[in-house]
Amino acid sequence: MLGFIFTVLSLTALFALAMYRAPLPVWAAAMAIFTVSLQLGLGSGELHWPVFNVWALAGWLIAGGLFALTFPEIKRKFLVLPVYRAFKGAMPAISETEREALEAGTVGWDAELFGGQPDWSKLTSVPPITLTDEERAFLDGPTEELCRRLKDWRMRHELHDVPDDIWDFVREEGFLGMLISKEHGGLGFSAQAQSLVLGKISSRSSDGVTIVMVPNSLGPGELIEKYGTEEQKAHYLPRLARGEEIPCFALTGPFSGSDAASMRDIGVVTKGRHEGREVVGLKLTWDKRYITLAPKATLLGLAFRLFDPDNHLGRGEDIGITLALVPTNHPGVEIGRRHLPCGTAFPNGPTSGKDVFIPLDWIIGGQARAGQGWRMLMSCLAAGRSVSLPATSAAGAKSALRISTAYARIRKQFNLPIGFMEGVEEPLARMVETAYELEAARAVTASMVTAGEKPAVISALLKYVSTERMRDSVNDAMDIHGGKGICDGPSNYLQGAYQMAPVCITVEGANILTRTLITFAQGALRSHPYLLREIEAVQDQDEARGVADFEEALDGHVGFTVSNIFGALLHNLTFGAFADAPPNAGPTARWWRQLARASRSFALVADLTVALLGGRLKVKQKIAGRMADALAELYLLSSILKRYDDDGRPEDDLKLVNYCAQNCLARFDLALAGVLDNFPLGWVGVCLRPLVFPFGARRPAKDRDGKEIVRAALQPGAFRDRLTREIFITDDPADRIGLLEHTLQKAVAAEAIDKKLESAIRKGEVKRFYNNDWIAEAEAKGVLTAEEAGTLKELNELVGRVIAVDDFDPAEIAAANTANGSSGSQARTSNQSEAA
């Protein structure tokens, strides 16, 4: 008994010391007490005089070593300096552009997840969706109206362009100036409002949203608002807000895509003539491609590398990446040709210029901001990436779900709505989950931005996760629709989103790069509590100061690692029973505890991954990608739990929250297990598995739970409406989406009557062939009443319209192709740099 009590007390003390990060002298004293206790026989329960054996020797050596480390000189010589030198060798120097990317934006909830002991208040204090009356009125008024006016097929196929009446409407209503402050003539909307407006438009038309999104995201408007000179603000912002200027922003070039900072576009400070006078200015040569709105733009935001060989600016030769505003009608600007990205209709194209002279005050922010372009871009990206693409992706997932649940309930095969078949239920369950999760993450992230954060790491992970999951949802929707989704035409409501999905995946940092290079590698540096301080310390030119800073960070880091080892083990052994949850967490308390448990495991693996791989993390991208996936699941789970609370904990949503949470944790475990299984140093996986997965990985939610949420989503009502909130919805049968909604209501209402008819057909009492009016026959034979027959006739006609696909006269297709320049087009594939 004594031995048992001793073991329990010793283990409790060990876990307490580790988890509460006891200081070194306490560890040394604890070790000494433990060793004496062993010598006295407490461990075996047989008390005797102190013995001295090999265990006692080991215990005293450890206690002595820990005690010695409490002397600063000894600690520095035997611990800090060797680690400092090893660290210095392992960590590559951070380049200037990397540093600027790292310093841009803010850390917030991501740091809590990286830290392993989340402070819930950092998440729960993020405000729920809040709009001003003006923002709500804009969402319900002009945004709804714009959605009604957008004709997807006309844009994608007939015009291959966004028509002038749509441009006029968005200009007049102020859509192009949502992010521009009221002071400068814009709407000055919050990030949350912008996100909801963009989401609603994109649920109607991917092309329509692009022309609104680009002026309201990274580009001239935002850059001028944040960094412009007073003259630039006064001149351009009201014009941009009114749509008198159409902006585009050109960063990408043929040789600088993902590695945009390696651009070959150049500006040279020199004298030249502008408006009849000789002034100091810039001679620009650029070659850019893929630039959204470029063919339509009047104002080109341009990124280039600036050099000043004659030192006009007094800052040496290489000034760095600089941004300028160039009117597109300025002599020498080549712009107007178009790319055709996946057959979408929004304007996108290349631009170039050779030795184009502009005055110095066209630099965004003026001369003082020359060379700060990369920092400005990264800072805007951290906020912007949190809003636009998550908004359009969440809306894409919600629309795909709304459409597919309606279609799956209306479309019957084998005498059954296809949504009731398990094979179809499976993708539908994924779609329900995705719609809930992406909307949850969109909402909380937009609220963070509204509150003033610029979440750099979260924006990167949300960008890749939301666009990937949206693409999966659109693909699932296509599969559920079969041929109806594939055959294009005015009645196809999926093609636009399907064509747009790869565009979202590629822009604002292509997903493979964002997942495998940016999210975790940057996240670890940004959000890890000690890593960046350690790196900065070893890079400090003043070595004495560097070592001192390093020692301070290392002290914290060792405590952090030890606490995570024991914290992860404790929570994983006890299935999170002792993990923390926010007060009054209610029915989701268990998931908050699982989130805390998972965060501990993540912190442990992330810490060791960074410590052991160091600079190699940049090339070990499969490891970094899986760590990014794990972090993304933690973020999604946080968002889900927050949404459930913010929504007022609707009873019907609990089953969905349980389903999503279980799947998030299963995917989290899968990602982390992948890291351990593939870690470049095999022993790491062997050592960490018992800590992280003492009882194996968690399993995804059960099929029966998926069935429950799908059945609920197939039913018109509050649950389905909440899942698809804030998208454009109409039940006007003249509209292709409205037709679905309208027919769904009728189909559900007529289900019982329909069953009667089906039964009669199965029994052979009524013949269902094209040459027979089977509903009339059923009425004549008394299977249906006249009223029931009328209901089914109407439904039959509506279903026929829902499932119809378009067909064309070949001449019609040829004519459209000729009009769009698809045959005999003047395609050009050269680029200026090659020619040079």
- Residue 257 touching ligand FAD (CB under 6 A): yes
Given 6, 114, 236, 290, the residue binding ligand FAD (CB under 6 A): 290
Q: How far apart are CA 428 and CA 418, in angstroms?
A: 11
> What is the closest distance, in whole angstroms, from the C-beta atom of residue 105 to ligand FAD in the complex?
18
Among 370-378, 395-403, 501-509, 587-595, the segment contacting ligand FAD (CB under 6 A) = 501-509
Query: Rounded to the nearest whole angstrom, what is the least distance from the CB of residue 321 to ligand FAD in the complex?
Result: 13
**Which tokens is 826 given?**
């003047």
Partners of 318 in beta bridges: 307
List Cβ neighbours of 113 (8 Å cut-off, separation of 6 or more).
Answer: 527, 599, 602, 603, 631, 634, 635, 638
CB 299 within 8 A of CB 258: no
Report if residue 292 touches ligand FAD, rule: CB under 6 A: yes
286: contact with ligand FAD by CB under 6 A:
no
To the nearest whole angstrom, how small is the minimum distance from the Cβ of residue 281 to ligand FAD?
A: 23
By CB under 6 A, the residues from 296 to 315 that bind ligand FAD are none
Instruction: Kindly indicate which of the ranges 89-97, 504-512, 685-693, 770-778 contains the residues binding ligand FAD, using the contact rule CB under 6 A.
Output: 504-512
Applying CB under 6 A, the span of 44-52, 242-250, 472-480, 705-713 interacting with ligand FAD comes to 242-250
* Tokens 């070990």, residue located: 620
Span of 50-58, 85-93, 252-260, 424-432 interacting with ligand FAD by CB under 6 A = 252-260
Q: How far is the CB of 528 from ligand FAD (least distance, A)?
A: 21
Query: Tokens representing 563?
Result: 């606490």
Using rule CB under 6 A, residue 40 touches ligand FAD? no
Helix %, strand %, coil % of the chain (to 5): 65, 10, 30
Element (H, E) at 324: strand 318-327
Contact in structure between 387 and 395 (CB atoms under 8 Å): no
Task: Check binding of 61 to ligand FAD (CB under 6 A).
Answer: no
Shortest distance, position 118 Cβ to ligand FAD, whole Å: 29
Known catalytic residue: 651? Answer: no
715 interacts with ligand FAD by CB under 6 A? no
Q: How far apart are CA 282 and CA 364, in angstroms?
A: 13
Read off the tokens for 194: 């912008």
With residue 279 as reference, give the H or E element that holds it.
Answer: strand 277-292
Find the binder of ligand FAD among 123, 139, 166, 291 (CB under 6 A).
Answer: 291
- Our CB check for ligand FAD shows the closer of 229 and 621 to be 621
Question: Which one of the spans 124-132, 180-188, 507-515, 802-810 is the region binding ligand FAD (CB under 6 A)?
Answer: 507-515
506 binds ligand FAD (CB under 6 A): yes
List 61, 93, 137, 510, residue binding ligand FAD (CB under 6 A): 510
Q: How far is the CB of 467 from ligand FAD (least distance, A)?
A: 12
Active-site residue identified among 437, 508, 633, 741 = 508
Pairwise CA distance, residues 292 & 787, whole Å = 55
Nearer to ligand FAD, 388 or 564 (CB): 388
Choices 91-99, 354-362, 506-514, 769-777 (CB under 6 A): range interacting with ligand FAD:
506-514
Which pair of tokens denotes residue 561?
């690692």
Burial code (b: 16+ CB inside 10 Å, e: under 16) for 715-753 equals ebeebbebbbbbbbbbeebeebbebbbbbbebbeebeeb
CB of 223 to ligand FAD, least distance (A): 13
- Identity of the residue, 135 or 207, whose beta carbon is nearer to ligand FAD in the bound complex: 207
- CB of 521 vs ligand FAD, minimal distance in Å: 10
Q: How far is the CB of 289 from ligand FAD (least distance, A)?
A: 8
How many residues contact ligand FAD, by CB under 6 A?
21
The whole-angstrom distance between residue 554's C-alpha and the CA centroid of its chain comes to: 32
Which position among 196, 250, 403, 691 is part of the footprint of ligand FAD (CB under 6 A)? Answer: 250
Token pair of 270 as six digits? 């020199």
Type of residue numbered 601: S
- Interaction residues for ligand FAD, span 147-186 (CB under 6 A): none
Q: Which amino acid is at 301?
A: G
Closest CA to 340 of 170, 157, 149: 157
Which x/- pattern over 613-652 shows residues binding ligand FAD (rule: CB under 6 A)?
A: --------x-------------------------------
For ligand FAD, what does the binding mask look like between residues 458 and 497, x meaning CB under 6 A? ----------------------------------------
Burial of residue 191, with CB atoms counted within 10 A of its CB: 0-12 exposed, 13-18 middle, 19 or more buried: buried
Identify which of residues 249 and 357 has a Cβ nearer to ligand FAD in the complex. Answer: 249
Query: Residue 341, interface with ligand FAD (CB under 6 A)?
Result: yes
Residues 6+ apart with CB under 8 A from 24: 66, 69, 70
Residues 6+ apart with CB under 8 A from 23: none
> Rounded to whole angstroms, how far apart are CA atoms 738 and 747?
14
Q: Which stretch binds ligand FAD (CB under 6 A): 171-179, 231-239, 500-508, 776-784?
A: 500-508
Of 197, 461, 507, 537, the one binding ligand FAD by CB under 6 A: 507
Give least dist CB 792 to ligand FAD, A: 46
The one segment of 117-125, 237-245, 509-517, 733-741 that binds ligand FAD by CB under 6 A: 509-517
Q: How far is the CB of 251 from ligand FAD (least distance, A)?
A: 3
Closest CA to 19 of 571, 669, 609: 571
- Closer of 80 and 214 to ligand FAD (Cβ): 214
CB of 256 to ligand FAD, least distance (A): 8
Closest residue to ligand FAD, based on beta-carbon distance: 257
Tokens standing for residue 37:
């206790």
For residue 16, count other CB atoms closer than 10 A to its CB. 12
Per rule CB under 6 A, is residue 377 in the interface with ligand FAD? no
Helices (H) and strands (E) in the chain, counts: 38, 9
The interface region with ligand FAD, picked from 54-62, 235-243, 458-466, 499-507 by CB under 6 A, is 499-507
Name the one residue in this structure whose structure tokens are 């095999």. 682
Does residue 393 touch ligand FAD according to CB under 6 A? no
x/- string (CB under 6 A) for ligand FAD, residues 511-530?
-xx--xx-------------
Residues 6+ apart with CB under 8 A from 754: 747, 792, 795
CB of 479 to ligand FAD, least distance (A): 24
Looking at the Cβ atoms of 474 and 709, the one nearer to ligand FAD is 474
What residue type is assigned to position 681 of the chain?
L
From first CA to last CA, the distance across the chain in angstroms is 86
Q: Are 664 and 460 in contact (CB under 8 A)?
A: no
- Read off the tokens for 630: 């794990």
Which is nearer to ligand FAD, 348 or 594 (by Cβ)? Answer: 348
The binder of ligand FAD chosen from 192, 206, 252, 352 (CB under 6 A): 252
Q: Give 297 or 604: the residue with its C-beta nearer to ligand FAD.
A: 297
Of 272, 278, 322, 318, the C-alpha closest to 302 is 322
By CB under 6 A, name the one of 249, 307, 635, 644 that touches ligand FAD. Answer: 249
Reading phi first (left if > 0) and then psi (alpha if -120 to 50, else beta), residue 131 is in beta
Query: Per-residue DSSP letters for 390-459?
Result: HHHHHHHHHHHHHHHHHHHHH-EETTEEGGGSHHHHHHHHHHHHHHHHHHHHHHHHHHHHHTT--BHHHH
Q: Provide the 3-class DSSP secondary structure of residue 832.
A: helix
- Asked if 258 interacts with ligand FAD (CB under 6 A), we say yes
Which active-site residues does the annotation give? Answer: 508
Residues that bind ligand FAD (CB under 6 A): 248-252, 257-258, 290-292, 341, 348, 503, 506-507, 510, 512-513, 516-517, 621
